[in-house]
Amino acid sequence: RQLYQLDNAGISTIHAFCKTLIQRWFPQAGVDPQATVLAGDEAELLKRETLDRLFVDLYGRDDDAGNAFRNLVDEYGGGQDWQVAGTVLRVHRFIHSLADPQGRLEQAVSQADPTCPDGLAARMHQYQHHRIERELIGQIQYGWELAATIRRCWPAAKVRAEYLDEHVARLKQWQTMLKDQPPESWVSTAETIRAFELPRPPRKPSRLNEEDGAAYDKAKQLQDEGRDLFKERLLEGVCAFTADEYREGLAIIAPHVRALADLVTEFDRRYADAKRSQRAVDFDGLQRLAYQLLTSESDRSRPSEVARQLQKQYRYVLVDEFQDVDPLQAAILHCVSRESADPPQGNLFSVGDIKQSIYRFRLAEPDVFAERERRFDAGGPLGEVIRLQENFRSRREVITAINLVFQPLMRQSFGGTDYDERAALRAAATYPRQADGPMFGSPAVEILLLEPITAQTARVSEGADESGEEESEPGGATQSDRDNSEELEAIEREAFLIGSRIRRWMGLEPGVARMYVGDRPRTPGGPPTARPIEYRDIVILLRSLPHKAEPLAEVLRRMGVPARIERDAGSIDSTEFRDVLSLLQVLDNPRQDIPLAAVLRSPLLGDRFDENDLMCVRLIDRQVLFHEAVERYATGGDDSNLRERLRRVHIRLA
């Protein structure tokens, strides 16, 4: 019965659902039913063309709008309008993830107005008091941890820790000045902090042995971290300005905020006209049109007639990965579900985990999920929170390790949630007892940290340039450029570490026995069995499969560790596919050198030939083609073992 009803369920992404709505009710949406959906690159190109034309028009205008635009370019773009263009596009993209984009723009403009009764200027005292207090608490905790680290790791340099102790004591005094005081107290506290001058740190003693000298240098790096944090975030950051200077600053930037908002509004209008003239919509437009279709034109907080029809059609609305929706998508789902009906009913079933939110770069807003969780936790007629904490995949040792790592790290301010008892995982899977004996060992979780090896990532050492500016190498390369070029090397180093670990488990390293693993009982209720570990027992999980899998697998194969990449069905860019294709080409015509070399390097014929093997084959006669060199070595090569292996390959191919 359920399989029969499955065809009636609308299962799709939110964008596809919005497209279906628009095509079904195209007269109400005011869209051509045959309108094309612009690809990302096409939409970006159209946006740039529209923005360029808008800028040209504004440069030629001698009115308030033209003057405001040119002032914005001069003040915030340094005379370069491409910087302003990037800001316009980012703001436009952000507001279109909201249910009321124009309202958000107007709110930003009013907030920057110093005369607004509930704007930034009116809330300045409360905001600054909280900001300074929060910064002091963070620096006190961090300074204490730096001092403790120095005492634990480099006791010979404890004078560096004592310097940090004095610094933490001063921070606590300033915290006391703010604690339980009215919001206006931040003014005097900030003035005290600005007037303070950091004392000179203790100098390194002149006569130290090599070990103690290195300890002083290491401890100085942590000492300087505490000093730099104070200067950059407290002295030159939250305490940099007086109350009057903040008001003056708001008065200066308020016209530019208005100019930017007007610029975004006009760009949005022209971009909509450009899409309409091309009978096209973009992905953001699909959601915007669907939202307008689902809400009353006179009151966007109320569902339209179309939305009420859908509420009758859909008995339940089920949404997966709810932590990755944006506010506009959440509003669309609210309209489609009966939560917006009169009276409201709870038929919106949302599944998510705020700890897995990874799409902020796509303007996903985890706070939407968090707010829904808080609302349902408080109770009500629309539903309840069901916490899915039981994990049925991993062993208890894995779950324990994950909880130990994340409980002290995740907070509302870092990760969007507290990793408390309600968020912690619980091991629910049952596994057979590990067999006793020295060959098995206890299940364990290891964390291996692979540090970067580039010298540029180290902090400035004693006596070096302390300007804080990033040095460029010859040719103008900066650290960010080097990071991109060194990414592949980092992947290869990580692959070597993984490969070394696997070789030890497999007993391929001298003096290391092969690991045994516990297996499920062969008979129900029988004792756990054990067997030697196999390659198929090992899996490597990657965050970015397309860019990292191939380099990692290649290193493993060169180390003699077979690796298979799990790809989407139908992928023709995998090593496995290319190996099979090369084999078919050789079977069709064995006189193809490149496919033949690929087959010899692959495990398809039961024997892999590494670079040294292929080099020996090539050197038997450098004047002939490679396939001829293979034939000559198989009949008269110097290395009898290699000669025999090539002969077996020749037999298999035949």
Query: What pLDDT, in 10s, does the model give residues 9-19?
Result: 888 999 999 99
In the prediction, which pLDDT does 571 show? Answer: 55
DSSP assignment string, 587-654: HH-TT-HHHHHHHHHSSTTS----HHHHHHHHHT-TTS-HHHHHHHHHHH-S-HHHHHHHHHHHHHH-
Distance CA(274)–CA(44), nearest Å, equals: 12
In the prediction, which pLDDT does 32 show? Answer: 84
Residue 144 structure tokens: 């204490």
Compute the Cα dihedral for 521, 527, 528, 532 and give only its sign. negative
Q: Give the residue from 402, 303, 294 showing the smallest Cα distance to 353.
A: 402
In the prediction, which pLDDT does 56 show? Answer: 94
Determine the longest span between alpha carbons in the chain, in angstroms: 94
In the prediction, which pLDDT does 433 show? Answer: 60
303 DSSP β-pair partners: 295
CB 178 within 8 A of CB 193: no
Q: 95 falls in which pLDDT band (50, 70, 90)?
A: very high
Q: 364 falls in which pLDDT band (50, 70, 90)?
A: confident
In the prediction, which pLDDT does 472 show? Answer: 39
To which residue do tokens 């290491």 refer? Answer: 218
In the prediction, which pLDDT does 339 show? Answer: 93
- DSSP letter at 295 equals B
% of residues, the chain, pLDDT over 70: 89
SS3 state at 261: helix
Please give the backbone phi and psi of residue 427, each rounded to the nearest 5 degrees, phi first. -75, 120
CB 364 within 8 A of CB 326: yes
User: Rounded to two decimals, what is the model's pTM?
Assistant: 0.69
Q: 527 falls in which pLDDT band (50, 70, 90)?
A: low
In the prediction, which pLDDT does 106 show? Answer: 93
CB 333 within 8 A of CB 294: no
SS3 state at 389: coil
Please give the backbone phi and psi of residue 572, each rounded to the nearest 5 degrees, phi first. -110, 15
Give residue 528's identity as a one-letter amino acid code: P
In the prediction, which pLDDT does 403 show? Answer: 92
What is the 3-class SS of 517-581, one letter each residue?
Answer: EEECCCCCCCCCEEEECCHHHCCCCCCCHHHHHHHHHHHHHHCCCCCCCCCCCCCCCCHHHHHHH
Segment 54-82 shows an average pLDDT of 92
How many residues in total does the chain contain? 654
Q: 515 falls in which pLDDT band (50, 70, 90)?
A: confident
Out of 226-235, 475-484, 592-601, which region has the weakest mean confidence (pLDDT)?
475-484
How far apart, in Å, are the Cα atoms of 545 and each of 221, 495, 523? 36, 14, 38
Q: 477 falls in which pLDDT band (50, 70, 90)?
A: very low
In the prediction, which pLDDT does 164 show? Answer: 94
Q: 411 falls in which pLDDT band (50, 70, 90)?
A: confident
Query: What pLDDT, in 10s, does the model give residues 278-319?
Result: 889 998 889 999 999 999 988 888 999 999 999 999 999 999
411 DSSP β-pair partners: 414, 415
The helix or strand, by DSSP H or E, that contains position 335, with its residue range, turns out to be helix 327-336
CB 164 within 8 A of CB 150: yes
- Tell me the Ramachandran region of residue 325: left when phi exceeds 0, alpha when psi lies from -120 to 50, beta otherwise: beta
In the prediction, which pLDDT does 149 show? Answer: 93
Q: Give the residue from 296, 283, 306, 268 showing the smallest Cα distance to 40.
A: 283
Out of 61-70, 429-438, 475-484, which region has the weakest mean confidence (pLDDT)?
475-484
CB 390 within 8 A of CB 396: no
Distance CA(434)–CA(520), nearest Å, equals: 10
Distance CA(169)–CA(280), nearest Å, equals: 63
Distance CA(600)–CA(609), nearest Å, equals: 6
Residue with more model confidence, 208 or 171:
171
Distance CA(401)–CA(374), nearest Å, equals: 28
SS3 state at 178: helix
Distance CA(480)–CA(521), nearest Å, equals: 53
Q: Give the residue from 114, 131, 82, 121 showing the smallest Cα distance to 237.
A: 131
Distance CA(599)–CA(613), nearest Å, equals: 13
SS3 state at 49: helix
Distance CA(544)–CA(559), nearest Å, equals: 22
- Does residue 453 carry a pLDDT above 70? no
Residues 6 or more apart in contact with residue 149 via CB below 8 angstroms: 222
Distance CA(568)–CA(589), nearest Å, equals: 30
Distance CA(359)–CA(369), nearest Å, equals: 13
Query: What pLDDT, in 10s, does the model give residues 324-336?
Result: 999 999 999 999 9
To which residue do tokens 């409980």 refer? Answer: 407
CB 642 within 8 A of CB 613: yes
- Would you call 364 exposed, middle or buried from its count of C-beta atoms within 10 A (0-12, 13-18, 19+)? buried
Residue with more model confidence, 477 or 551:
551
Residue burial 311-342, b: 16+ Cβ < 10 Å; e: rest: beebeebebebbbbbbbbbbbbbbbbbbbbee
